[in-house]
């Protein structure tokens, strides 16, 4: 079958919820992907910020294969070593207290919301169930996560969603304060808004949220699903602000390719929220995915992945700023570390993304007009130069 026939075959049986790009990807190597007809693509999408280590990173496949030969799944009724190891490493990297592994980002959000509600409930404040979320946020597609996603278009067809959610403007503390009541149990925000268009939080915004939450004993949830796991040069983006949440969610790069997420609780939330019987998952944190998480942390440490992101960020930013100077269609750059966005004007961002694909570069969009770059964290200067070369060609 050629690529066209493969695409047609897929459309016959797979529910059409995505307008996919016209390419069938077959295999990857390093920071490159290859389609079924052998054409290669420089990958600045990384499976939507998942493949932090690119493809076939030394030692990663071997760790997964070894775990397959040992044990894949046992349920959460028994202990398993990979989960203990992955949990220990996640808690250490975040400086938080307790982790719960999930199968996805959206499930990590569900868990975080339940933990926040349970925290208030356990204190005897049963009327305290309101959650303040941000406009233009994205937290996932399950009903709870959708309820706190600040995008009307995603929410509308599925209402009524969970009650008691109020929206405020990201990076606008007064707007958040206006939504806080006696009933507020949690504030949830991405540390760097991803899908909404790559907006890093302001220092004063996160500090202000922390202060409000401390004063009123509100649970502060940072969604680090996209911006976490080294993407901004820290393990978790909030660490570079020095503002610690009560609960954090992560997923995407956590397993760098296997479906795994987690919500991680600080001391306060861990001691007085979810208890036996309150939450569960059949697959979550099974030995296979946790062997991946554990190996990812080992590789990050051994090969200094965070330092690499920190070192290369100025170069990436300088090159992208060059595009802003050179092309009228590139209005601005926003971002943090290897999570960067270019604001495209005059032409639809989708047309630039499609042109890049034709020219052998995978990038994605965010919001209505942002070209999003979330490459594997192992890219080199040469990859950046190649990416810039292709984008220059597309924008010209």
Ligand X SMILES: *Cc1c(COP(=O)(O)O)cnc(C)c1O
- Which residues make up the interface to ligand X (CB under 6 A)? 104-106, 109, 138-140, 190, 194-195, 223, 225-226, 251-252
Instruction: Output 49 or 384, the one with its CB closest to ligand X.
Output: 49
Please state, in angstroms and rounded to a whole number, the distance separating the CA atoms of residues 286 and 89: 16
Which residue of this chain has its Cβ atom nearest to ligand X in the complex? 105
CA distances to 57, 105, 366 from 229, rounded to whole Å, are: 16, 13, 20
Please state, in angstroms and rounded to a whole number, the distance separating the CA atoms of residues 35 and 4: 12
Q: Which strands make up the sheet holding 32-35, listed edge to edge? A: 25-29, 32-35, 40-43, 361-362
Instruction: Output 104 or 184, the one with its CB closest to ligand X.
Output: 104
Instruction: Output 251 or 299, the one with its CB closest to ligand X.
Output: 251
Tell the smallest beta-carbon distance from residue 258 to ligand X (Å). Answer: 12
Please state, in angstroms and rounded to a whole number, the distance separating the CA atoms of residues 346 and 179: 36
DSSP 103-127: SSHHHHHHHHHHHHHHHHHHTT-TT
Q: Nearest CA to 102 among 274, 242, 316, 358?
A: 274
Tell the smallest beta-carbon distance from residue 92 to ligand X (Å). Answer: 23
Instruction: Output 248 or 306, the one with its CB closest to ligand X.
Output: 248
Instruction: Output 2 or 17, the one with its CB closest to ligand X.
Output: 17
Instruction: Output 12 or 153, the one with its CB closest to ligand X.
Output: 153
Tell the smallest beta-carbon distance from residue 145 to ligand X (Å). Answer: 6
Tell the smallest beta-carbon distance from residue 18 to ligand X (Å). Answer: 12
Tell the smallest beta-carbon distance from residue 223 to ligand X (Å). Answer: 5
Tell the smallest beta-carbon distance from residue 109 to ligand X (Å). Answer: 6
Tell the smallest beta-carbon distance from residue 138 to ligand X (Å). Answer: 5
Residues 226, 203 contacting (CB under 8 angstroms): no
Provide the token pair at 376: 């594997």
For residue 79, how many other CB atoms are within 10 A of its CB? 8
Provide the token pair at 140: 């996932």
Instruction: Output 24 or 112, the one with its CB closest to ligand X.
Output: 112
Please state, in angstroms and rounded to a whole number, the distance separating the CA atoms of residues 211 and 205: 10
């Amino acid at each position: 079958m050629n690529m066209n026939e493969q695409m047609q075959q897929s459309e016959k049986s797979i529910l059409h919820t995505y307008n996919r790009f016209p390419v069938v990807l077959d295999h990857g190597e390093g920071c490159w992907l290859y389609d079924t007809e052998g054409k290669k693509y420089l990958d600045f999408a990384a499976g939507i910020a998942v493949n932090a280590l690119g493809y076939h990173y030394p030692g990663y496949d071997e760790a997964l294969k070894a775990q397959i030969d040992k044990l894949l799944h046992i349920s959460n009724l028994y202990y398993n070593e990979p989960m203990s190891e992955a949990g220990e490493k996640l808690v250490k990297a975040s400086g938080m207290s307790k982790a719960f592994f999930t199968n996805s980002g959206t499930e990590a959000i569900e868990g975080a919301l339940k933990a926040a509600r349970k925290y208030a409930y356990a204190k005897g404040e049963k009327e305290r169930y309101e959650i303040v979320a941000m406009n233009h946020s994205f937290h996932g597609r399950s009903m709870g996560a959708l309820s706190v996603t600040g995008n009307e278009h995603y929410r509308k067809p599925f209402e009524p969603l969970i009650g008691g959610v109020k929206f405020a403007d990201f990076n606008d503390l007064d707007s958040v304060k206006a939504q806080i009541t006696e009933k507020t149990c949690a504030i949830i925000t991405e540390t760097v808004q991803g899908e909404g268009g790559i907006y890093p939080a302001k220092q004063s915004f996160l500090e202000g949220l922390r202060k409000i939450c401390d004063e009123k004993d509100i649970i502060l949830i940072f969604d680090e699903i996209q911006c976490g796991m080294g993407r901004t040069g820290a393990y978790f983006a909030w660490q570079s602000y020095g503002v610690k949440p009560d609960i954090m969610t992560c997923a995407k790069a956590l397993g760098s390719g296997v479906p795994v997420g987690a919500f991680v609780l600080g001391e306060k939330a861990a001691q007085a929220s979810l208890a036996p019987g309150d939450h569960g998952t059949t697959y979550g944190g099974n030995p296979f995915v946790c062997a991946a998480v554990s190996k990812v942390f080992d590789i990050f440490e051994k090969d200094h992945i965070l330092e690499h992101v920190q070192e290369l960020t100025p170069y990436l930013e300088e090159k992208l700023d060059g595009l802003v100077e050179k092309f009228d269609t590139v209005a601005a750059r926003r971002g943090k570390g290897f999570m960067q966005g270019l604001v495209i004007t005059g032409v639809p961002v989708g047309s630039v993304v499609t042109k890049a694909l034709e020219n052998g570069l995978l990038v994605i969009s965010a919001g209505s007009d942002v070209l999003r770059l979330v490459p594997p964290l192992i890219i080199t200067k040469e990859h950046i130069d190649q990416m810039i070369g292709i984008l220059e060609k597309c924008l010209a």
